[in-house]
Amino acid sequence: MNKKIALLLLFLSGLLFSAPGFAFKLEPLYTTLSPSGSGAEKTFRVVNPGGKPIALEFRVTTRQQNIDGKESRQPADDLFMLYPPQAIIPPGKSQKIRVQWLGDTNPQKELAFRLVAEQLPVNLEPNPQTGLKMVMTMVGSIYIRPEGVQSHLTISGQRIVSGEQGNKLELMVTNRGTAHALLENLGLQLNNGQTLTGEAVQGAEGQNILSGSTRRFYIPAPTTHAQVTGIQHRQ
């Protein structure tokens, strides 16, 4: 091996092994706010369980889903009061983050947002070590939920597709309701009277469908040629 290349690899290895690995916790991972009143304000808590201080920045974004669940986000800080927007958290300590809704006090449906906590790549130690600065980002969920909203799921398409692991049922599910739906304890009703649950709905169980969104799932194809006609899930 070329001597210069070997020295470069050794140098990079040293950087990687000397890189500080920080971690932090965001609690809770999701919360629901009322559009107005005392319920329009909640508090998150960020915990630094490590042995070194960390610097964090907080922001709120919108949240839209595409058909496969991938999210697109845009800044939404003008709709919230976020305090503090930045914080330095000593080792073993925590910081409360106050979030208050400043937007529409009478939305017609539930609104979904993300709280993003991002570690800043700054050295906070008196004698910082050289090396790669590893940073971490955590994302929480915020729902602005007016009274009376609820999810309403419908099957908007289905077909059998072939793959390397056998046939799958491609299922399109649309949430025509006014609140998000978590597909927990999922049951898919078939037109032959059977209901698919458990391993038969792997690929859809536990997924989230925001209000007005359509999601595509792939689950094991039923052994019969029955069609999915309805959805049961925990509200």
Provide the residue ranges of all domains of the chain, joining segments of one domain with +.
22-144, 153-232
Q: Which of 117-121, 131-135, 205-209 is predicted most confidently?
A: 205-209
Give, in order, the Cα–Cα distances in Å from 234 to each of 110, 217, 229.
Answer: 18, 18, 17
Q: What is the pLDDT of residues 162-220, one digit of tens each?
A: 977 789 999 999 999 999 999 999 999 999 999 999 999 999 999 999 999 999 999 99
Q: Is the dihedral of CA 88, 91, 93, 98 positive or negative?
A: positive
Is residue 112 scored above 60 in pLDDT? yes
Any idea which of 15-29, 65-79, 81-95, 126-140 has the lowest mean pLDDT? 15-29
Is residue 64 scored above 50 in pLDDT? yes
List the beta strands (DSSP E) in 69-147.
Answer: 71-72, 80-83, 86-89, 94-101, 111-119, 137-144
pLDDT at res. 165: 76
Bridge partner residues of 216 (DSSP): 172
- pLDDT averaged over the chain? 88
Fold classified for 22-144 = Immunoglobulin-like (2.60.40)
pLDDT at res. 133: 60
Between residues 13 and 73, the one the model is more confident about: 73
Is residue 18 scored above 70 in pLDDT? no
What CATH code would you report for 153-232?
Answer: 2.60.40
**Structure tokens, 36:** 């107005």
What share of the chain in percent tops pLDDT 70?
86
pLDDT at res. 9: 38
